[in-house]
């Protein structure tokens, strides 16, 4: 009797290997122990198992079940929860998975190129920041650089890590300082999704629906089937449209999170207002993909730097970035006062994160009486031989941040020839004039890649560069 049993067991083992009977529950890498889930919104969790397999998810007293479809995908939705934790999530299907130390709070995507990828260890006062980096309610996940020629449903990651003196050095610095301010003011857990890559253009991060939503990008939208492509070695050009959306964003499209912060543009310098159209595509694309039509999107205006080439290519990107503020639920952190003209990666990421957080606290979280923006050009008018300039976001008055006369103003007459101007503060306005220009028409401020203007509002936030001769 033993021999037939042995044969039967052997056959079953072989069949199980061939047919995949021994399936298991798998999860996308964005879901794991130590993660932060978005508070006060339905919680979506998903993964894979055998087609037809029932999967049950338990979180506290709430549970939900789903049956994996023919592709193996299952998805459940759990009830919204208030901020707090830690929680345990149990997932039962072909196998069981338990996720530990899960917090409920505010989750933000941190994306862009190198100034967003720049780590805490590379920022100002790194040893002090690392030493004081124990914030267990701030969690960070980093996705590796991964271009793809097709949308990826799951990619490897470093997993979620609580902020400690052993881990925080590798966090996105801008994201960490942004999250630290939010955590201090909101007193809830903060989750930071680091999906960023130094030197990248904006097009690779944008989904197809984004390009299709902007008429000015019709040439890209009509050729999406040609992007991205592999070279002879099988490597994908990570700078082509869709490449990084496919490989580094698409995989967590089901995740609910609050909003995004974005620091990018250096690699698109020289495109002028076309960059504004591409920002529109990115924002609209992400809002569509993540099914969050009002998703907050806060971004950093690039810092002055010795790029070489055209001295106006950077100001034209500044102009495109400021124009993007016309899109609802956006905000812009100005950095002209915390730059390093010899370093494209200014080390003061603390103030960058803080300024982004001010926008979020005021506009997303409804903190009142908070000055969240530096002055933005409002209007101008000629008064005799002077031009009077009005601003939004003065916080009641204007000032020079170094006590010296205001700098980097120029005016021009009808001939369009700009000359340096003397500028003086008059309450919440600036009055400018220049010898030899009796009838000024236009004014420029900070309109040079090396300009580090000193005009700030009553709270010390810097003024965005502008021109009136568009």
Residue 220 and residue 159 share a domain = yes
Residue 163 and residue 90 share a domain = no
Residue 290 and residue 256 share a domain = yes
Q: Could you say which DSSP state residue 174 is in?
A: H
Residue 222 and residue 85 share a domain = no
| 2 within domain boundaries | no
Closest CA to 409 of 396, 418, 399: 418
| 171 within domain boundaries | yes
Residue where a domain stops, chosen among 101, 123, 142 = 101
Residue 164 and residue 239 share a domain = yes
Q: Which CATH number does the domain housing residue 125 bear?
A: 3.40.50.1110
Closest CA to 89 of 161, 26, 53, 35: 35
For residue 19, is pLDDT > 60? Answer: no
Residue 252 and residue 166 share a domain = yes
Closest CA to 468 of 425, 430, 428, 426: 430
| 228 within domain boundaries | yes
Query: Maximum distance among all alpha carbons in the chain?
Result: 112
Residue where a domain stops, chosen among 364, 392, 420 = 364
For residue 30, is pLDDT > 50? Answer: yes
What lies within 8 Å, CB to CB, of 3 at 6+ separation is: none
Rounded to an integer, what distance in angstroms lies between the CA atom of residue 212 and that of residue 412?
Answer: 40
pLDDT of residue 11: 43
**Quick check: pTM over 0.85?**
yes
In the three-class reduction of DSSP (H, G, I as helix; E, B as strand; rest coil), residue 134 is classed as coil
> Lowest-pLDDT range, 20-24, 259-263, 311-315?
20-24
Angle, in degrees to the nearest 10, between helices 313-323 and 274-289: 40
- The number of CA neighbours under 13 Å toward the Cβ of 282 is 30
pLDDT of residue 5: 52
Residue 149 and residue 66 share a domain = no
Domain hosting residue 69, numbered range = 36-101
pLDDT digits (tens, 9 = 90+) for 4-16: 454 444 444 443 3
Q: What rounded mean pLDDT belongs to the chain?
A: 95
pLDDT digits (tens, 9 = 90+) for 286-343: 999 999 999 999 999 999 999 999 999 999 999 999 999 999 999 999 999 999 999 9
Rounded to an integer, what distance in angstroms lies between the CA atom of residue 152 and that of residue 237?
Answer: 16
**Exposed/middle/buried for 364, CB within 10 Å: 0-12, 13-18, 19+?**
buried
Residue where a domain stops, chosen among 312, 333, 364 = 364
Cα angle 251-255-259, degrees, rounded to a multiple of 5? 105
| 29 within domain boundaries | no
Rounded to an integer, what distance in angstroms lies between the CA atom of residue 368 and that of residue 438?
Answer: 44
Residue 156 and residue 63 share a domain = no
pLDDT of residue 15: 39
| 6 within domain boundaries | no
Rounded to an integer, what distance in angstroms lies between the CA atom of residue 168 and that of residue 188?
Answer: 18
Which single residue is written with the structure tokens 């400021």? 322
| 31 within domain boundaries | no
Do 338 and 303 contact (CB within 8 A), yes or no? yes
Which single residue is written with the structure tokens 């967003």? 116
Which is more confident, 230 or 86? Answer: 86
Cα angle 64-67-71, degrees, rounded to a multiple of 5? 135
Do 329 and 294 contact (CB within 8 A), yes or no? yes
pLDDT of residue 22: 45
| 24 within domain boundaries | no
Residue 177 and residue 74 share a domain = no
pLDDT digits (tens, 9 = 90+) for 213-242: 999 999 999 999 999 988 888 899 999 999
Which single residue is written with the structure tokens 């998975």? 97
Q: Could you say which DSSP state residue 154 is in?
A: -
| 427 within domain boundaries | yes
Residue 138 and residue 213 share a domain = yes
For residue 464, is pLDDT > 50? Answer: yes
Residue 139 and residue 46 share a domain = no
pLDDT digits (tens, 9 = 90+) for 90-102: 999 999 999 999 9
Q: Which CATH number does the domain housing residue 64 bear?
A: 2.60.40
**Total tally of structural domains belonging to the chain:** 3
Residue 158 and residue 114 share a domain = yes
**Exposed/middle/buried for 274, CB within 10 Å: 0-12, 13-18, 19+?**
middle
Q: List b or e across 59-97, with b for residues whose CB sees 16 or more CB atoms inside 10 angstroms.
A: beeeebebebeeeeebebebeebebebeeebebbbbeeb
Closest CA to 334 of 326, 319, 347, 344: 319
Do 181 and 260 contact (CB within 8 A), yes or no? no
């Amino acid at each position: 009797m033993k021999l037939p049993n042995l044969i039967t067991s052997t056959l079953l083992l072989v069949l199980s290997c061939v047919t995949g009977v021994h399936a298991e529950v798998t999860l996308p890498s964005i879901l794991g122990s130590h993660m932060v889930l978005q508070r006060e919104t339905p919680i979506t969790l998903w993964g894979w198992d055998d087609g037809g397999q029932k999967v049950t998810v338990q979180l506290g007293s709430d549970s939900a079940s789903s049956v994996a479809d023919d592709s193996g995908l299952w998805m459940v939705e759990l009830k919204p929860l208030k901020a707090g934790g830690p929680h345990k999530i149990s997932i039962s299907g072909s196998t069981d998975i338990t996720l530990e130390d899960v917090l409920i709070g505010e989750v933000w995507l941190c994306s862009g190129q190198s100034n967003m990828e720049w780590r805490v260890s590379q920022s100002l006062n790194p040893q002090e920041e690392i030493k004081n980096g124990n914030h267990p309610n701030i969690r960070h996940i980093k996705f590796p650089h991964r271009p793809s020629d097709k949308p990826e449903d799951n990619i490897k990651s470093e997993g979620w890590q609580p902020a400690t003196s052993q881990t925080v050095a590798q966090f996105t610095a801008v994201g960490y300082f942004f999250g630290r301010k939010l955590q201090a003011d909101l007193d809830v857990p903060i989750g930071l999704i680091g999906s960023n890559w130094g030197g990248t253009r904006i097009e690779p991060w944008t989904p197809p629906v984004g390009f299709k939503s902007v008429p000015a990008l019709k040439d890209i939208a009509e050729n999406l089937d040609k992007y991205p492509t592999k070279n002879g070695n099988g490597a994908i050009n990570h700078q082509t449209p869709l490449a990084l959306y496919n490989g580094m964003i698409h995989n967590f499209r089901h995740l609910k999170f609050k909003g995004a912060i974005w620091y990018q543009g250096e690699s698109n310098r020289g495109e002028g207002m076309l960059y504004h159209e591409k920002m529109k595509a990115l924002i609209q694309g992400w809002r569509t993909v993540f099914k969050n039509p009002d998703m907050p999107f806060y971004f950093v205006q690039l810092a002055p730097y010795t790029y070489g080439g055209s001295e106006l290519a950077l100001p034209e990107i500044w102009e495109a970035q400021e124009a993007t503020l016309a899109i609802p639920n956006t905000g812009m952190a100005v950095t002209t006062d915390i730059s390093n003209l010899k370093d494209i990666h200014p080390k003061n990421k603390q103030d960058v994160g803080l300024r982004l957080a001010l926008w979020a606290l005021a506009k997303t979280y409804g903190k009142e009486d908070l000055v969240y923006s530096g002055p933005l050009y409002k209007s101008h008018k000629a008064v005799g031989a002077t031009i009077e300039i009005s601003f939004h976001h003065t916080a009641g008055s204007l000032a020079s941040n170094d006590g010296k006369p205001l700098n980097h103003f120029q005016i021009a007459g009808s001939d369009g020839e700009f000359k340096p101007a003397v500028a003086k503060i008059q309450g919440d306005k600036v009055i400018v004039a220049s010898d030899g220009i009796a009838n000024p028409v236009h004014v420029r401020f900070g309109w040079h890649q090396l300009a580090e203007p000193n005009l700030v509002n009553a709270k010390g936030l810097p003024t965005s560069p502008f021109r009136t001769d568009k």
